[in-house]
Amino acid sequence: MQLASSRIAVSLCYHSHVASLTGDRKSRKTDSVMLRIIMTLKETNWSTLFTRIGLHFLFWVLIVAYFVWGFGVNVNPRISLLNALGYLPGHMIMVYTLLYFLIPRFLLQRKIGYFFVGLVILVLLCAVYANLGQLVVNANPNLAGVSISVGRNVMPFIHVGGIAASVKLLKYWYVQRKQTIEAEQQRTVAELKLLKAQLHPHFLFNTLNNLYSHTLGLSPRSPEIVLKLSALLRFMIYESNVPRIPLSKEVELLRNYIALEQLRYGDRLDISVSVTGEVENYQIAPLLLLPFLENAFKHGTSRQIDQCWISLSISLEGGVMNFKLLNSIDPGGNGSNGSGGIGLENVNRRLRLLYKRNYQLEATRLEEVFVVRLDLPLEKLEEQYVDKLQLT
């Protein structure tokens, strides 16, 4: 008896344990479903959802009103409304099958044949529905005897489907166009950052060569060069990471660079700088003019043994900047400023990206002089760039 009781107790415990595990599994499954529902509700953009529902509701109200008027609201408003409402489910079948199945599944995937086959089947189904619907709501004997050959049975569905498909395709085109523009903008920004990243070490390399030539001779001007170089680098690293800077700051950068180079050349370099116009009231892309000046020194004056010279002129007339840079070159040399390294390649590319075709750039090599002309329309200085940069 005790053995039988023990077996019964074990059996009851086992079944109780199994029932408990089964209940736990069901409970966990229910909790998981509830958790997914809660997460879905939290992630739902209710404002967008209600706006979308409202637009669909407005669309169908307008469609019903249109067909009430089309069926002859002045003749028999009740029959017109009944016919419009009778067509409504068929219109919904047509529209939502087009919008959420045929167009995204076939038309946008360039499966044109499948799309037209599906469209023909859909139109036939809607035509059959129209016949059945009119027989059901037929309260007027004049509506009897409708057949699939009657055009008015099919045309309303094609009409409404065409309107809905046009809206869908227009929206698709707009989204695609917006994405294309955003992708182009991102690509342009990335390319500009890359060009700027290449320009910084290029400038640093040239200036360090300058410093190296002075330190070889233990020149007392080496500390002054380091000080001016640090000011230039501070501008390039910390203060040029904006879309535009005041033109006056770009001019100040050019003057500091010229002062740095004059320490290197001394009396062997004759340089003249002329700046006219309201340069403080206009803005320009940062570091846009510096590569031209670098190029003049690196590929012009640095290759001359005798006296060399540079003439820089910047003027503003009617919002257009006229930049003109002339530098002496070795008449017997075979080098050319026009293809002088990565600096000019970058500035040409930056001009195309930033100003499109709205500029004129000319580089001319004569027998003893190299001339660069840039005519560039500039925008008025915006408030966010006023007094934001200080170059010391």
Note down pLDDT in tens along the chain; length 392 residues: 444 455 545 454 545 554 454 555 656 666 676 777 777 666 777 788 888 888 889 888 888 888 778 766 666 777 778 777 878 888 888 889 998 898 888 888 888 999 999 988 988 888 888 777 664 444 444 544 445 455 556 778 888 888 888 888 898 888 888 877 776 766 666 665 655 555 556 566 666 776 676 676 666 767 777 777 777 777 777 777 788 889 998 998 899 888 888 877 777 888 899 999 989 899 998 888 988 888 888 766 655 556 788 999 999 988 999 999 998 887 766 545 544 555 667 778 888 888 888 899 988 888 888 899 999 999 988 655 444 443 33
Same domain, 77 and 141: yes
Q: Are residues 240 and 170 in the same domain?
A: no
230 and 144, same structural domain?
no
Residue whose C-alpha is closest to residue 294's, from 327, 333, 331: 327
Which residues touch 290 (CB under 8 Å, ≥6 apart)? 203, 250, 253, 254, 257
Count of the separate structural domains present in the chain: 2
Which residue among 180, 211, 242 closes a domain?
180
Q: Using the 8-state DSSP alphabet, how is residue 302 labeled? A: G
Residue 5 domain-assigned (yes or no)? no
8 Å CB contact between 82 and 136: no
CA distance 282 to 251: 12
Based on the domain organization, do 58 and 133 belong to the same domain? yes
Residue 66 is predicted with a pLDDT of 81
Task: Write down the pLDDT at residue 275.
Answer: 94
Residues 136 and 280 in one domain: no
Same domain, residue pair 130 and 224 = no
- Whether 95 and 164 have beta carbons less than 8 Å apart is answered as yes
DSSP 8-state assignment for residue 288: S
Q: Judge whether 124 lies within some domain.
A: yes
- Residue 292 belongs to some domain of the structure: yes
The rounded Cα 39 to chain-centroid distance in angstroms is 31
The answer as to whether 199 is a domain residue is no
Maximum separation of any 2 CA atoms in the chain, in Å:
125
Question: Is residue 190 domain-resident?
Answer: no
Same domain (yes/no): 155, 255:
no
Same domain, 286 and 175: no
pLDDT given at position 318: 87
Same domain for 101 and 238, yes or no, is no
Contacts of 287 (CB under 8 A, 6+ apart): 196, 199, 236, 240, 250, 253
Last residue within a domain, chosen from 126, 152, 180? 180
Nearest to 354 by CA among 213, 201, 196: 196
Rounded CA gap, 73 and 121, in Å? 32
pLDDT of residue 244: 86
Residue 212 included in any domain: no
User: Residue 301: what pLDDT?
Assistant: 65
Domain that holds residue 279: 220-385
Residue type, 284: I
Position 231 scores a pLDDT of 76
- Of 180, 212, 239, the position where a domain reaches its end is 180
